[in-house]
A = this chain, B = another copy of it.
Amino acid sequence: MSGTATKARDRHQEILDAAARVITERGLAETRIADIAERTGVSPGLILYYFDSKDRLLSEALTYANDQFYLRMSREIRRIDSAREQLRRLIDLSVPGYLPEYGRLDEWALWVEVWVRALRDPEMAKDREALDQRWRNQIAEIIRAGQASGEFTSTVPAEELALRLACLIDGLAIQVVMNDSQVTPERMHRTCMEVAANELGFAL
């Protein structure tokens, strides 16, 4: 019984994982069930045994992948004391391709797919808002800590500062993930740090 349940949960996750990778490579629109089956190493029929429909699978895969990303980042940041260093680390991790050790799994490419889908699918829209909320909260927490400790001198509400920073990161990350020749990972990083210093009130 429990053995079966475990096995089933593994398959479930295995498929979500494969799906996320295929979507990253081929794009949501070009992702076929057959691709996901092949990547998982099973027959196409099995995919539909675990998921009611392609659509549900794709939606789940998108939120799953972004969830993973958030959790990884959250874990890393919790280990750091200084709010300033937490912020730096958050920016490091947000710049696509900035840290060589995190290969080009391009979470941001998945985000863009989430946006497109959320535009029409209410279910996805709800998930997206929750994900974004959590992300902005994470940033706001850091800022609040910095304000409390005196590391950041701005008296603007942390929640507002978090919105500014989160959206700047989004906008820049888009350019970077698109390979814009003017916006390299290094430049995005520098820009984020400078704006953060200006807005939060700390010296670089």
A residues at B contact (CB < 8 Å): 26-30, 109, 112-113, 115-116, 118-120, 125, 128-129, 132-133, 136, 160, 163-164, 166-172, 174-175, 177-183, 191, 195, 198-199
- In the complex, the answer to whether A109 meets B119 with C-beta atoms within 8 Å is yes
Q: In the bound complex, how far is the Cα of B170 from the Cα of A167, in angstroms?
A: 8
Known contacts A27-B119, A163-B183; can you find 16 more A-B pairs with CB under 8 A?
A28-B116, A29-B29, A29-B116, A109-B119, A112-B116, A112-B119, A115-B174, A116-B116, A118-B178, A125-B179, A132-B175, A164-B168, A166-B171, A167-B171, A167-B191, A168-B168
Given B118, B128, B180, which contacts A132 in the complex, CB threshold below 8 Å?
A: B180
B residues near A112, Cβ cutoff 8 Å: 112, 115-116, 119
Question: How many copies are assembled?
Answer: 2
Choose one: B109, B129, B160, B180; the contact of A181 (CB below 8 Å).
B129
